[in-house]
Structure 1
Amino acid sequence: MTFRNVRVLAGQGQLLEIPHLDLTEQRISVIGPNGGGKSTLLQLVNGLVEPTEGRVSTEGLDTVEQGRQLRQCTGFVFSNPAAQLVMPTPLEDVELSLRRSVRDSAQRRRAALQTLAELGIADLAERSSQELSSGQQQLVALATVLTLRPRTLLLDEPTTLLDLANAARFTQLVRSMERKHRIRTITATHDLELAAAAERTLLVAGGKVVAEGEPQEVIAAYRRCSTG
């Protein structure tokens, strides 16, 4: 995935500027202060945000000109899972994700149940989504994305609302899917332990990528900046 002369403007301000960046690793983390541009960077990757200037390509596809095609092979999990769950039950939410790609309703239901089972949450299929815990909702949100078998998975603060046990379970499941389906993951996070498990880390602050490279070195740079 590549960024070339990218600027994202909003009103009179600049949200993000990336002159040149190539990302090739399977597991990438993005760290930095709130409002620094992490979420904007992730949303550029699959065309949820379009660059005001410059070009972004993912999986060889231009995020503006081929955005619809791109979003068929990339998945986005937001920090608040409730924002992604719009149907009464988890099963119906996963089925909804499959509606365009699987026309037959019986086949769609089987595929949805298979995904829920793969993530170990088949028992939640018929539960009310509104009655689930935050951890359960986040796993269902992950299921709605993984059922489409994306090649790139974008995780925006996925463990923010989770306790330690559910955060660990969520991360373990993502790692399992990475290995099983060769999915590339890009995770924006304040969890520096999670960030350190990546192959490459970006530090985004003030609307710029101010450091990037080996995770421990970039995390150390972030700590220095944060402590003055």
Structure 2
Amino acid sequence: MQIIFDGATVRHDAREAIHPLTLSLDDHRIGVIGLNGSGKTTFARLIAGLTVPSDGKVMIDGLDSVADANTLRGRIGFIFQTPGNQIILPIVEDDIALGLKPLKLGKAEIAARVEAALSRLGIAHLAKRRPHELSGGELQLAALAAVLVTAPSLVIFDEPTNQLDLKNRAVVEQAIAALDESAIVISHDLDLVATFPRVLVFDQGRIAFDGPAQQAIARYREIALR
């Protein structure tokens, strides 16, 4: 998937959350790091079509993120910081099936796709569970299954290891590493993006560095400790 920012800007009143940004992305794994409020999540929401540019454009495989939003729907999955809030139905398998409703599939086909998404992540045993019964890592995987069932080309993760213990963090890290789909990972967990070939460092709404993980992490530390 090719993502092009063409002078894309986001303003909140008089403040620019994202300064005019011109950038091309087509890497399989991209990390996004930076201090709180630096523009990371706004950047990701622009890609997913959840935030509209104040000026400029974001193009996804030649399609405009605003004008062609309906066509792009389903091609990009977004896992929010609090995946428990993303699971809105009381049973996990029903919530995963919800994303397939617009496709007008038969019940058997929906059931097969849900089962495949759960099995792919090794969580078929969670199908009948309720969200409040799941651990933090299991919630992340259930939310990911609900995204993968729609067959996106790109999955965006917003702080996927936030508040997870070591065991659950490892589960989520392994799930991300195993994805065939492209992934953009926003994180304060520097170890999570430490092997990524490309990491963007955001600082006050601008990209302060764009390159290999270890150099990006070094630049982030300079910004954080200045």
TM-score, length of structure 1 as denominator length = 0.94
Aligned partner of 1:212 in structure 2 is: 210
**For residues 23-172 of structure 1, what are the structure 2 equivalents within 5 Å?**
23-172=25-174
Deviation at residue 16 of structure 1 after TM alignment = 0.6
Q: C-alpha distance in 1, partners of 2:73/2:184?
A: 15
Partner deviation per Cα, 1:49-100 (whole Å, 9 max, x = no partner)? 0100001012322101111221221100011011110001110011101111
Per-residue displacement from partner, 1:92-147 (whole Å, max 9, x unpaired)?
01110111125212210121012111111111100111221221111100100011
- Deviation string for 1:168-218 (max 9, x for gaps)? 11121122122xxxx111110001111222110100111111111111111
Q: 1:116 to 1:74 in 2, by over 3 A?
A: same
- The answer on whether the counterparts of 1:18 and 1:209 sit within 8 Å (CA) in structure 2 is no
AA aligned to 2:65 is T
CA contact (8 A) 1:79 1:161 kept: no
1: distance between equivalents of 2:198 and 2:62? 20
Q: Report the secondary structure of 2:179's partner residue.
A: helix
Q: Which moved more, 1:169-178 or 1:80-89?
A: 169-178
Structure 1 spans left out of the alignment, 5+ residues = none
Is 1:11 the counterpart of 2:13? The answer is: yes
SS in 2 for 1:196: coil
| Aligned residue identity for 2:21 | P
Task: Describe the SS at the equivalent of 2:176.
Answer: helix
Task: For residue 50 of structure 2, give the secondary structure of its aligned residue in structure 1.
Answer: coil
Percent identity between the aligned chains? 36
The Cα shift of 1:39 comes to 0.3
State the shift of 1:18 in Å.
3.6
Counterpart Cα distance in 1 of 2:195 and 2:205: 24
**Partners of 1:61 and 1:223 in 2: how far apart?**
36
Identify the residue that residue 185 of structure 1 maps to in structure 2: 183
Alignment TM-score, normalising by the size of structure 2: 0.95
**Any gaps of 5 or more consecutive residues in structure 2?**
none
Question: How far, CA to CA, are the matches of 1:33 and 1:133 in structure 2?
Answer: 27
Paired residue type of 1:150: P
Alignment correspondent of 1:222: 220
Work out the CA distance in 2 between the residues paired with 1:161 and 1:144: 21
Extract structure 1 runs of 4+ deviating beyond 3 A: none
Q: Select which of 191, 195, 209 maps to 2:193.
A: 195
For these two proteins, the number of residue pairs brought into alignment is 224
Q: Distance in 2 between matches of 1:227 and 1:145?
A: 36
Give the conservation status (yes or no) of the 8 Å contact 2:21–2:206. Answer: no
